[in-house]
Amino acid sequence: MRVLILGGDGYLGWPTAMYFSNRGHEVAVVDNFLRRQMHMERGTDSLTPIASLHQRIQAWKEITDKTITSYIGDLSQWEFTNQVFAEFRPDAIVHYGEIPSAPYSMISVQHAVQTHQNNVIGTLHVLFAMRDHVPNAHLIKLGTMGEYGTPNIDIEEGWIEIEHNGRKDLLPFPKQPGSFYHLTKVHDSHNIMFACRVWGLKATDLNQGVVYGIETDEVNMDDRLLTRFDYDESFGTALNRFCVQAVAGIPLTLFGKGDQTRGYLNIRDTIQCVELAMLNPPKDNRMRVFNQFTESFSVRDLAYIVRDAAAKIGIEVEIAHYENPRVEMEEHYYNPTHTNLLDLGLKPRYLQESLVESVIQRVVQFKDRIIPDAIVPRIRWKGGEQPNKVGIIEMEPPASEPTPAGD
């Protein structure tokens, strides 16, 4: 297949590009290097040293004798997006090409507007380019479980049957996003849903949980093929941050009580989910939604998992509780459905089986690149940036060991 990967220089985009190229697909990537620019703005960087996209593609060619085509430009510019689709004419579009940071979107009005312009306008341009050039192509869009928020009912996969005043209908599941970034994902979902209904496009919205790890078969071929590992407050996940803090000897930064619960999955499983979606396209023009994660953990569970994993290689970890900079429920019900990808054949990997090998040992390898000042959270949901308050609080371990969410 001809596979176009938007955001192909990114954390997920680059490993996905290599994976599909290695399996014989004709792959092209699109990127405007915005993530690299935003790190320069914030004074942060990937823990792993990442080569330029040109160097990566050249290294991939030398190692495998396979070619990845690149288009350098901005999806929020219609002329560029139109040209890419007219030239490459993809069978499938894997859309990672968005600013993926809740904290970044909450810094200021300028950052919120930039996030909306980049994400919403870029996706609209992609939809129009599909309509005009490849109306039979399949859009595989990376959404987020954060679109749903934390409702006090089970979260269905995108749609929910509602009975009201004696009548029933299948409607989009209600959205309660937790940041201006998550709002852009909701806008994307609505725009994609509309384009599928009106223009007959095919789309799968992958509402993904938090991804961890950088190890894939292709990444492990050569360090020139490394993907990025972000741990700063803008772009790093809590799990990445905890692993870096453990290696650096910094107390793990739990926000508030640490009972916030989310879904997680290994980077290899993200790519597996994208491939399953691509090889099994929708049969109709209703936007298909998959909830994409394999396990659920509270942030406090993660802290104890990291502490125990680090102890296996002789690292002692301390846990700290920070004033929560976000506006969110810290204790809540969380039970999302995630059966569609399992039904298609997803074979999950589990965090406690791979954390040391896939994350912590890589952090140890590049520990000299850690920027300690980039870790402490300063971005506040209620406005601006300011120092965070921290106190070391002893807390009891979870009552039971975390278990995989479908077990």
Of 326, 110, 359, nearest to 230 (Cα)?
359
Catalytic residue among 104, 148, 181, 322: 181
pLDDT digits (tens, 9 = 90+) for 49-86: 999 999 999 999 999 999 999 999 999 999 999 999 99
Whether residue 402 lies inside any domain: the answer is: no
The full DSSP string for 328-397 is --SS----B---HHHHHT-----HHHHHIIIIIHHHHHTGGG--GGGTS--B-TTSSB-PPPEE----PP
**Local confidence band at 30 (pLDDT 50, 70, 90 cut-offs):** very high
Catalytic residue among 48, 96, 150, 185: 185
Q: Does the annotation mark 181 as catalytic?
A: yes
pLDDT digits (tens, 9 = 90+) for 111-147: 999 999 999 999 999 999 999 999 999 999 999 999 9
Q: Is the pLDDT of residue 329 over 80?
A: yes
Q: Is the pLDDT of residue 400 over 70?
A: no
Q: Does the annotation mark 261 as catalytic?
A: no
* Count of the separate structural domains present in the chain: 1
The tokens for 261 are: 């619960």
φ/ψ region of 46 (left if φ > 0, alpha if ψ in -120 to 50, else beta) reads beta
Rounded CA separation 119/71 (Å): 18
Whether residue 91 lies inside any domain: the answer is: yes
Domain that holds residue 43: 2-391
Whether residue 396 lies inside any domain: the answer is: no
Catalytic residue among 144, 227, 253, 261: 144
Whether residue 397 lies inside any domain: the answer is: no
pLDDT at 354: 87
Residue found by looking up tokens 């296996």 in the block:
312
Q: What is the pTM of this model?
A: 0.95
Residue 207 maps to which CATH number? 3.40.50.720
Q: Does the annotation mark 11 as catalytic?
A: no
Whether residue 404 lies inside any domain: the answer is: no
Whether residue 398 lies inside any domain: the answer is: no
- Residues paired with 379 in a beta bridge: 385
Rounded CA separation 150/399 (Å): 22
Mean pLDDT of 319-341: 95
